[in-house]
Structure formats: C-alpha cells, structure tokens
Amino acid sequence: MIPRFSTTVLILAALMLVAPTGARAVELTLPDSQMTPGLARSGLSEQTICATKWGQDARHVTQAMKDKVFSEYGLTGNDDPACVPDAHGRHCEIDHLISRELGGADDVRNLWPQPYGTEPWNAARKDRLENRLHKEVCAGRLSLTAARKEISTDWRKPYVQYFGQP
C-alpha cells in the first residue's frame, strides 16, 4: 500500500529540497518593532537638524553593530537570501528607522536590515521619504515629532501621501 500525503505536505517537502541553505521567509519591508522600536538622539533641536549637512557628519554605526542587527533578524549578513539585490547589486542597508536627518540615533534599537531589491517597498524608496520629511520639517510644514512618528509607525503611508503609490 502506498501512503497518501496531503498536497500541502508534498509542496512543503519540495520547497525544503530546493530552498538554498540559510533561506528563510523574512519580511523586511518594515522592521520588527520588538527589535527595532526606533530611537531618536536626545538634545537635537529642529534648528540643529536643519543646519547639519547629513552625509558629511560623523556616522557612528560600526560593523559590530551591523553584524548584531543582521544576527538579531536571523540573517547571516548582507549576502543572506532575504537581502534581495537591486539592479546595481546593492543587497541590504542597515537602515535607521528614524532617519539620521530626523535626529535618529546610531543605536541598534533604531536599525534594521532593509533590502534594496524588494518591490515596491525598498531601501531606495525609504531614503527618498527620509529626504522629503527632512525638507518638510525644515520648511516648517511638519513638526519633528510628527515626522518621526510617521516614519517609525509605517513609512509606506507617508510615502504614498507625498509621492503616490509606487
């Protein structure tokens, strides 16, 4: 007698045979709020945030911090299959939930691995939103508190508000 297996069991078994080693179903569109609740630097005023040349200032995210974030998310590193590459070969960036240009802290509680190649929600789109929110704050159209809340709650919603559906 031949044993009967459900279709689901057979499909799962087949997937396990063809899945690359280390592959897992990791959703990185939004950070895990338990691991990455978001954290802003204390003592930064809107005036200081708007006067700083972001990208030219000192950044304090070490390789050890990046490794810890990858590990906490169950990833092996930037070459993990969950770090889907884009057309330029960029895999994941260790991204700040509250962006640096909104006063986000260089702290593992404010970092998560965000892929460049996932569509439609990827690191490049979040970077675009970070720049826009910074401009809105510095133009006086949005409070710093509101901008931080928008980006740390679900960054896709303000993205759609400012740029439309991707």
Q: Cα–Cα distance between 3 and 116 in angstroms, integer?
A: 45
Give me the pLDDT at residue 107, please.
96
**Is 68 exposed, middle or buried (CB count within 10 Å of its CB: 0-12, 13-18, 19+)?**
middle
Q: Scan for tokens 């990455």, then name that residue.
A: 36
Is the distance from CB of 99 to CB of 130 less than 8 angstroms?
Answer: yes
Proportion of the chain in helix, strand, coil states, percent, rounded to 5: 40, 5, 50
Residue 110: other Cβ atoms inside 10 A: 24
Give me the pLDDT at residue 88, please.
94
Task: Return per-residue pLDDT of the chain as tens, 166 residues.
Answer: 444 544 433 333 333 333 333 434 457 889 999 999 999 998 888 999 999 886 666 678 999 999 999 999 999 999 999 999 999 999 999 999 999 999 999 999 999 999 999 999 999 999 999 999 999 999 999 999 999 999 999 999 999 999 999 9
Q: Coil, strand or helix: which one is 111?
A: strand
Summarised one tens digit per residue, pLDDT across range 36-65 is 999 999 888 899 999 988 666 667 899 999
Q: Cα–Cα distance between 41 and 56 in angstroms, integer?
A: 17
**5, two tokens:** 């297996």
DSSP state of 41: P
Q: Where are the domains of the chain?
A: 43-163
